[in-house]
Amino acid sequence: MGLEKLLGDNIITTSVNSVAKWARKNALWPMPFGTACCAIEMMATLSGRFDMARFGAEVIRFSPRQADLMIVSGRISIKMMPVLLKIYEQMPEPKWVISMGACASSGGVFDTYTLVQGVDQFLPVHCYIPGCPPRPESLLDALMKIQDIIGEEDSDDKADEGRENPEIETEEETEESASAEQGVAEPSGS
């Protein structure tokens, strides 16, 4: 654009979207849904040796309303699934889900009458972690993959549509989406 030349070295120009994405992916607030041994590995990931804080995701929130990353770590029974779903629905958009370990992803060894055979039947899962239980490195890897997903998301993706703060969108796009909505609304109105 050439704008940088005028502004000098002290000011960076970028889009609001990029800044929002950058902020989101480097400050994920996980909601731990630990129901089994995977939760122990999740705790290990949070503590000093593996230190999830290095990736900006150390602020574990036990209130879903303050979290944007759900880590389903452990087996989910059909009696627990409504609880999980209720907690997921309370998380504000945008939100992401990690299905940690074999049980959450597929039921694992518990191929029985009472266990949900993969939480992805009821939740949109963004990243699956294999393992029984997975090593903390795997969880960190999944976290980085979630960060990649957040970084790659388009501006008209669901993460932005359901956002809490309408002001984090560029002016151009607001105009575009507004005119697009009008374009849709006009034929139906006339």
Partner 1 sequence: MGTSLTPEQITERLSKQFGDELSVYLPPGERAARVAIVSRESLEDTLSFLQTEAGLEFDFLVDVTAVDYLHFDDPSIQERFAAVYQLYSTIHNHRFTLKTPVPEDDAWVPSAVELWGSALWAERETHDMYGIRFKGNPDLRRLLMPEDFPGFPLRKDYPLRGRGERDAFPQYLDSGPISSGTREEGGGE
By CB under 8 A, residue 82 contacts partner 1: yes
CB of 179 to partner 1, least distance (A): 17
| Contacting residues for 171 by C-beta, under 8 A, at least 6 apart | none
By CB under 8 A, residue 81 contacts partner 1: yes
Closest CB to partner 1 among residues 25, 46: 25
* Joined tokens for residue 113: 């009458």
CB of 91 to partner 1, least distance (A): 12
Separation CA 52–CA 120 (nearest Å): 25
What count of other Cβ atoms lies within 10 Å of the Cβ of residue 133? 23
CB of 115 to partner 1, least distance (A): 6
68: nearest Cα among 146, 7, 1, 174: 146
Closest CB to partner 1 among residues 135, 163: 163
- Select from 9, 111, 154, 186 the one that contacts partner 1 (CB under 8 A): 111
Helices (H) and strands (E) in the chain, counts: 8, 4
Which residues would be at the binding site for partner 1 (CB under 8 A)?
78-79, 81-82, 85, 88-89, 93, 111-117, 121-124, 158, 161-162
